[in-house]
A and B are shown apart, each in its own frame.
Chain A
Amino acid sequence: MKFIVQPPPFTRRQRSTTGIMYELSALLGLLWIAAIVYNFTIAPSYGLKAILMVVVAVVTTLICDVLVGAISYRDKEKPFGRYLFTRIKENYSLVTALIFALSLPIGTPYYVIIIGSLFATLIVKYAFGGFGANIFNPAVFGRIFVTFAFGSQLRAFIGTVPGNIASLTDVGATVTTSFSFSSLGVKWISDSLAGLNVTMGQLWLGNYSGAIGETFTGLILLLGLYMIVRRICNWRPIVAYLLTVTLTALVVALIAGLNPGTYILLHLAMGGLMYGAVFMITDPVTSPTSMFGKILIGVIAGFMTVLIRIQGGYPEGVTFAIAIANLVSPLIDRFATGMTNNNNLKKWSVILSVLLLSLALNGGLAYYNTQVQNPEPEESQLVLKVSNDLVAEELKTNYVVEVIK
């Protein structure tokens, strides 16, 4: 008779981290399949590229796993093969590789994918201690790294600009880039899709060119709902993030005189916002552990996303916003020390003040950019100006001048 002693409790919920991570990989796989199908409709070479991009990223991260495993192999009694297998299985690099590869456009050269994956896995993840210890999301930082280092190589086409992709401009700029820097108005303040060759339906369905996985906004939203229902991810950061973006976009639209509905839908559908909301900001490793913190990073990321979109120098702000949210997570954990069911008033006021700051700052910037810096002459003003000129020269009566003023 042998009694095995282990600490209580002696029953555990049958929900493991490994299960969660591989279910998440399967969902990302669905997104990959959607990307492959869409790219095959453009040209076979595009479809093959969509397959190979992810394969290259996955193989590179696996090689990194093996390398780091070989370096950190200490316990000589355990066979190396088995050690390596558990190590690879429990570092979930597959998820990182998939999220990273799916956030790149189709024309990204293979060497950029390899360098990005190496950076994400070796520097962002393993340098900090591997899964569970990394302070930044590897995929997000890999993406930011390649944006900075190889920005001009991240093209949404292969070779020359093909004629059959309607959503690309003549020089090959994607929808988000053309929308963001449109010559029609101020950056990110427009509710018109004119000149983009894409419809709102396409933006939500995903059959246009962009980062291979990020374009399928509707599908990603469905995957997000599934993940929330299955408790693969926490609902708080997703909901807080999308709500903050929606509210801020609403305020901006009202101030800039845009159609609020269209403007909000554009904000949610463009770029990698939905992708970031579902797959990047929900990464538990780089989020605070408290539920309060999980809401707060969503609000902070939403705030930063809109801020960078309407004021920053890059067409997109999602990855940067999530990087900032990762950065403040330890700080939020410190702030949330204590009881989880006390100080609710304090917690709500922190969340609401960040939200209000977002509304005020982004609304103020929208006002400044549209009304003060680039005032668009309105029709009535034009008419008055003309009459002003005529009247001032010929009649020169104070009465008319005052009316015009």
Chain B
Amino acid sequence: MINVFKSITQIRLDDHKSQASEADVLTIDENKIASIFIPAVSPNGAGIDIFVKEGEQVSVGTLIGRRRDFYVPIFSSVSGVVKGRVSRHNPLVGRATEHLEIANDFKKTRAEPLKTISFDSDPKDIIAAIKEAGIVGLGGAGFPTYFKYENSTNIDTVIINGVECEPYLSTDYKLLQYHALDVIKGSELLRLAAQANTAIIVLKKNKTALVEVLKKHLEDFPHMVIRLVQDIYPMGWERALVKRILNRTYNDFPKEAHVIVNNVATAMATAQALLKGEPLTHRTITISGNAITQAVNIRAPIGTPISQIVEEVGGYTTDEVIAFTGGPMTSRPVSDDSYVLQASMNGYTAVKPVSYHSVPCLRCGACNAACPAGIQPIEIKLALDSNNTDRLMKLNVNRCVECGICSYVCPSFIEVADAVIRAKIRVRLQNAKSEIAKKGAVK
């Protein structure tokens, strides 16, 4: 039934993908990379324990550190010498953080490969292997993959998300084109790890060419199916996918609906780490936007400064650009391109500046009607402007997934999404404060 209180929930965007998705994937010339920088802080702000000392020799795949909050090992992506720590901007954390600098010796020597397993292994061994390989969600969130599998029971379906609904990005598309078998193998491993009956690879309807590629390999994997979804935004969002594919809803995590959702890039990384013993040291990134000379997908070692990658593909076409760390809807703006490539980054987009002149809100309610999470962005903005934290809590601010639809549809060009994100921070602070107050009362 159509919900008259909500109207259009998803919106078709101009995808701007063709240029990068039609070009071949390039590989960066590693001999030009003098040194790489591995952030010593994880995207959520947690620290990373560094195991190597200054002057120590490392190879491609040497264990150099581990996250403190989750068990995620970090590997070196080049061979060379650890030079020390430098401070660099990290857009995922939102400030300058310490990075470990490793000078490249251009020898590409490889460390001992990881322990490999086979399809017959015990699910627990597969999860342990995923944990040791440091696999994180490569769709953008960077959430540790093992954690989803270790803490879920009664899973019947694993959804492998290849929707890539953000404009400009085409890494998942290219990856499925070039490494379809690896993706399928990885999906099979993830399905076995979850002890699920089926793994569903989800693609957009307009990517029929990929279906042909995938179907060739699917005969050997009877538990795997392909499902197509509409070309709308935000179709790649977990909640939207689970609803669309299985018609199930959940409150906090997909595991409540007996589903685990992973990205195709994660599946591929799993296959390469578990079957070939290669840890995640390189990734493909889409460099595009109308301020980029040549929009392409390029494979580079993790830790390469973005400025070097952009130089490799021909640089910018204008002197003034708006640049961001992925697609135009959800990613964060960057104030320069000196930051480094991290595992969860799937794009770098630079567009010619467009300024939007905002006018007062006309209360049309377009943002309320379009919000896929079902909250009321403009009411949140009004409550935030009037410092009304109580009302913010009643308006379910925490449900926001920062998809950016509200700002996108706003005819008055008001920064609604930005206001909602600020409101989320405000509510989080308020919750922390009241918790501290409660603890104080107990003492």
Contacts and interface: CB of A to CB of B under 8 A. Distances in A.
Q: A and B bound?
A: yes
B331 interface: yes
Given A5-B333, A11-B14, A338-B396, A131 B417 contact: no
Interface residues of A, number: 47
Contacts of A90: 359-360
Interface stretch (B124-132, B135-143, B169-177, B401-409): B401-409
A4 B418 CA distance: 16
Nearest to A90: B359
Contacts of A337: 376, 379, 391, 394-395
B167 interface: yes
Contacts, number: 165
B342 interface: no
B120 interface: no
Contacts of A11: 13-14, 167, 328-329, 408
A268 to B, nearest CB: 22
A3 B337 contact: yes
Interface string B290-323: 0000000000000000000000000010011111
Nearest to A295: B4
Given A2-B319, A18-B359, A347-B5, A13 B375 contact: no
B3 interface: yes
Interface string B159-191: 000000001000000000000000000000000
Nearest to B167: A11
Nearest to B16: A11
Contact of A12 (B7, B368, B408): B408
Contacts of B417: 7-9
A6 interface: yes
A392 to B, nearest CB: 62
A284 B337 contact: no
A3 B395 contact: no
Contacts of A4: 320-322, 353
A16 interface: yes
Chain B interface size range: 35 or more
Contacts of A131: 359-360, 362
Interface in B410-437: 410-413, 415, 417-418
B102 to A, nearest CB: 26
B25 interface: no
Interface stretch (A167-175, A222-230, A285-293): A285-293
Dominant secondary structure at the A interface: loop
A134 B248 CA distance: 43
B23 interface: no
Contact of B333 (A8, A19, A286, A290): A8
B379 A333 contact: yes
B374 A339 contact: yes
A164 to B, nearest CB: 43
Contact of B407 (A5, A9, A290): A9
A94 B434 CA distance: 50
A263 B93 CA distance: 67
Interface in B1-45: 3-7, 11, 13-14
A289 B411 contact: no
The 4 closest A-B CB pairs, nearest first, are A132-B360, A9-B404, A7-B418, A10-B328
Given A7-B415, A338-B376, A340-B369, 14 more contacts: A4-B353, A5-B322, A8-B328, A8-B404, A9-B407, A13-B11, A132-B361, A284-B362, A284-B365, A289-B364, A291-B7, A337-B379, A337-B395, A339-B374
16 contacts: A1-B321, A6-B322, A6-B355, A7-B333, A9-B328, A11-B328, A12-B408, A13-B410, A15-B411, A17-B362, A20-B362, A90-B359, A132-B412, A234-B365, A294-B365, A338-B394
Interface of A: 1-13, 15-20, 90, 130-133, 234, 236, 284-292, 294-295, 333, 336-342, 344, 347
